[in-house]
């Protein structure tokens, strides 16, 4: 092995901490077999290699076969730094380690080389249809491995929608950020026949972090790499929030796993770790008063609506909803669409009409709104529950969003609200508030001595357990 190749390999090795490198080498040993073989002709010890069959046997059902083949093609594309006596279509240890280093810690340029080979074995350029197939395979494999490893954090098929449509929608959203060789963004109709080269993929990997993040999770969870190290097993799983507040099987969210992951990635980082169900119309009733009572002063929230035509959309409120006839919120708020397309629309800076909530007043509109202006909101739910509008032609001035509902004036089919991040201190204090007898144990003891029982015992709401659903 030449000095240049040796220094290149050492550069990749230096990216790992000693315990990380030991873990990766341990996975390779498990993949290739525990003992080195001896060549019959030369009597020399043969270098261990990994075949596709070995990879499938090790991963088992954790990843779909199509993604395993893509990962194996990526490993094989790494230039062998040391000659092996085995067949050329096998992966040596150096190739495996370099693949892991480039994929988990490399630059966009290094990752794009691997992704190019995972998209197509051919050199040069790839078609848009091939990239779309890769993107759908990537997202589908992500959902598959999280479910297989029991890493859905309280979400499951019973309380979310089938992910099939969400996989296609998220793949289309990621593809919309891909630029052609001439620098133009890829349009919907031209995707199948569009031609992209390595620079296009490199730019895509740099600007769209979801691709690298998804690959990272697939490799770590699929091959169980870096999972045995303390405090690092969950590093790659922050893209899915923990689900709280859902009990039993009576509730099914309007969202699917891919859309949850996508929306969560656009939230402020400090609230991405947890979602807590505050309100669902099919659980709490179709009433604006009920909605109002469940969301006021509960911290940042995601509001998700479904209209009678099946369109799903909503908005993120960056701070607690308050009842007042003025606009509130800040530039972190956004509107979004889930179906028929997946997209997020952030603030334009044109005005500060981020959030509005009013109830029970005569002089100002009563309802919940986000973006635009009175009577022309980007998203509006009337206090006369069941009615709403998205009057954003051509675009909402606050968020640059299009009309989100199928009809400008829509009928509401379902609504749910999730608080994101930790509960505000005021809400936590209210939950933990004790009765006067709790605060005064002497008074409690006196009642027991004279034979009086506590009439309220067992009638108070139990404090919610902070544990996985």
Q: Which residues make beta-bridge pairs with 343? A: 337
In this prediction, residues 64-78 reach a mean pLDDT of 95
Q: What is the mean pLDDT of the chain?
A: 85
Name the most confidently modeled range: 105-114, 339-348, 429-438: 339-348
Confidence (pLDDT) at 44 = 53
CA distances from residue 232 to 18, 227, 270, 347, 467 in whole angstroms, order as listed: 14, 7, 19, 35, 21
Confidence (pLDDT) at 213 = 93
Confidence (pLDDT) at 437 = 47
Position 36 pLDDT exceeds 60: no
Position 433 pLDDT exceeds 80: no
Confidence (pLDDT) at 432 = 52
Higher pLDDT, 182 or 334: 334
The two three-digit tokens of residue 343, written as one number: 């997209």
My answer on whether 282 and 396 are in the same domain is: yes
Asked whether residue 467 is domain-assigned, the answer is no
pLDDT digits 0-9 by tens, 442-460: 555 445 555 555 444 444 4
Last residue of a domain, one of 216, 236, 256: 236
* Exposure on the CB side of residue 364, measured as CA atoms within 13 A: 16
Position 469 pLDDT exceeds 50: no
How does residue 182 score in pLDDT terms, banded at 50, 70 and 90?
low
In this prediction, residues 180-188 reach a mean pLDDT of 67
Asked whether residue 437 is domain-assigned, the answer is no
My answer on whether 19 and 85 are in the same domain is: yes
Q: Find where tokens 């770790």 sit.
A: 273
In this prediction, residues 308-321 reach a mean pLDDT of 97
Last residue of a domain, one of 211, 236, 261: 236
Q: Which residues make beta-bridge pairs with 242? A: 274
Closest CA to 259 of 133, 78, 416, 376: 416
Residue 169, preceding peptide bond in cis (omega within 30° of 0): no
User: pTM for this one?
Assistant: 0.86
Phi, psi of 424 (to 5 degrees): -65, 155
In this prediction, residues 204-223 reach a mean pLDDT of 93
Q: CA 13 to CA 6: how far, in whole Å? A: 10
Number of domains in the chain: 2
Closest CA to 370 of 383, 381, 384, 356: 356
Confidence (pLDDT) at 34 = 58
Q: CA 316 to CA 187: how far, in whole Å? A: 27
Confidence (pLDDT) at 10 = 81
Neighbours of 25 (CB within 10 A): 15
**Domain of residue 319, residue span:** 269-422
Q: Is 268 helix (H, G, I), strand (E, B) or coil?
A: coil
In this prediction, residues 154-173 reach a mean pLDDT of 93
Asked whether residue 264 is domain-assigned, the answer is no
Asked whether residue 428 is domain-assigned, the answer is no
My answer on whether 119 and 168 are in the same domain is: yes
* Packing angle, helices 209-223 and 52-59, rounded to 10: 80
In this prediction, residues 54-74 reach a mean pLDDT of 96
Asked whether residue 253 is domain-assigned, the answer is no
Confidence (pLDDT) at 218 = 95
State the CATH number of the domain containing residue 109: 1.10.238
Asked whether residue 228 is domain-assigned, the answer is yes
Position 215 pLDDT exceeds 80: yes
Confidence (pLDDT) at 183 = 65
Confidence (pLDDT) at 123 = 74
My answer on whether 281 and 372 are in the same domain is: yes
pLDDT digits 0-9 by tens, 261-314: 999 999 999 999 999 999 999 999 999 999 999 999 999 999 999 999 999 999
My answer on whether 297 and 379 are in the same domain is: yes
Q: Which residues make beta-bridge pairs with 244? A: 276
My answer on whether 276 and 412 are in the same domain is: yes
C-beta of residue 400 within 8 angstroms of C-beta of residue 348:
yes
Q: In the chain, helix, strand, coil percent, each to 5?
A: 40, 20, 45
Closest CA to 27 of 219, 218, 220, 223: 223
Asked whether residue 284 is domain-assigned, the answer is yes
Cβ burial of 197 (10 Å; 0-12, 13-18, 19+) is middle
My answer on whether 310 and 389 are in the same domain is: yes
Asked whether residue 54 is domain-assigned, the answer is yes
- The H-or-E segment that residue 222 falls in is helix 209-223
Lowest mean pLDDT among 181-195, 203-217, 298-312, 323-337: 181-195
In this prediction, residues 391-419 reach a mean pLDDT of 96
In this prediction, residues 100-129 reach a mean pLDDT of 88
pLDDT digits 0-9 by tens, 332-388: 999 999 999 999 999 999 999 999 999 988 888 999 999 999 999 999 999 999 999
My answer on whether 226 and 281 are in the same domain is: no
Position 154 pLDDT exceeds 70: yes
How does residue 468 score in pLDDT terms, banded at 50, 70 and 90?
very low
How does residue 46 score in pLDDT terms, banded at 50, 70 and 90?
low
My answer on whether 287 and 161 are in the same domain is: no
- The H-or-E segment that residue 19 falls in is helix 18-32
How does residue 465 score in pLDDT terms, banded at 50, 70 and 90?
very low
My answer on whether 158 and 300 are in the same domain is: no
Q: CA 371 to CA 317: how far, in whole Å? A: 11
My answer on whether 198 and 306 are in the same domain is: no
My answer on whether 33 and 157 are in the same domain is: yes
Higher pLDDT, 368 or 48: 368
Position 240 pLDDT exceeds 60: yes
Neighbours of 455 (CB within 10 A): 7
Confidence (pLDDT) at 428 = 55
């Amino acid at each position: 092995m030449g000095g240049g190749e040796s220094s290149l390999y050492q550069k990749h090795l230096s990216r790992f901490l000693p315990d990380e490198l030991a873990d990766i080498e341990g996975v390779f040993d498990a993949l290739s077999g525990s003992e080195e073989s001896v060549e019959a002709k030369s009597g020399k010890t043969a270098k261990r290699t990994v075949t596709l069959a070995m990879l499938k046997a090790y991963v088992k059902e954790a990843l779909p076969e199509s993604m395993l083949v893509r990962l194996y093609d990526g490993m094989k594309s790494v230039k062998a730094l040391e000659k092996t006596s085995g067949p050329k279509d096998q992966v040596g240890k150096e190739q495996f380690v370099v693949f892991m280093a480039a994929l988990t810690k490399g630059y966009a340029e290094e990752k794009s080389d691997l992704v190019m080979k995972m998209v197509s074995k051919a050199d040069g350029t790839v078609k848009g249809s091939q990239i779309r197939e890769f993107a759908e395979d990537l997202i589908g494999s992500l959902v598959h491995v999280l479910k297989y490893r029991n890493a859905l954090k309280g979400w499951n098929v019973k309380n979310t929608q089938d992910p099939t449509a969400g996989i296609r929608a998220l793949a289309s959203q990621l593809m919309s950020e891909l630029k052609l060789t001439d620098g133009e963004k890829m349009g919907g109709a031209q995707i199948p026949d569009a031609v992209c080269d390595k620079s296009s993929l490199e730019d895509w990997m740099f600007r769209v972090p979801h691709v690298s993040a998804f690959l990272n999770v697939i490799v770590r969870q699929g091959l169980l790499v870096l999972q045995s190290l303390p405090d690092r097993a969950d590093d790659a799983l922050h893209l899915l929030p923990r689900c709280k507040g859902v009990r039993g099987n009576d509730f099914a969210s309007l969202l699917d796993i891919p859309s949850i992951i996508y929306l969560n990635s656009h939230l402020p980082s400090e609230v991405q770790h947890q979602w807590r169900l505050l309100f669902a119309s099919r659980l709490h009733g179709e009433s604006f008063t009920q909605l109002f009572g469940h969301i006021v002063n509960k911290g940042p929230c995601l509001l998700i609506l479904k209209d009678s035509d099946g369109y799903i959309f909503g908005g993120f409120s960056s701070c607690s909803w308050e009842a007042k006839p003025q606009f509130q919120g800040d530039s972190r708020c956004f509107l979004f669409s889930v179906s028929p397309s997946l997209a997020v629309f952030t603030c334009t800076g044109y005005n500060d009409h981020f959030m509005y909530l009013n109830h029970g007043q005569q002089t100002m509109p009563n309802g919940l709104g986000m973006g635009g202006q009175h009577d022309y909101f980007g998203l509006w739910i009337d206090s006369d529950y069941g009615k709403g509008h998205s009057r954003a032609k051509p675009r909402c001035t606050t968020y640059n969003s299009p009309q989100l509902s199928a009809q400008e004036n829509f009928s509401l089919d379902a609504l749910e609200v999730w608080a994101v991040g930790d509960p505000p201190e005021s809400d936590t204090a209210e939950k933990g508030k004790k009765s006067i007898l709790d605060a005064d144990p002497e008074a409690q003891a006196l009642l027991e001595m004279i034979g009086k029982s506590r009439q309220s015992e067992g009638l108070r709401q139990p404090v919610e357990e902070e544990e996985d659903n």
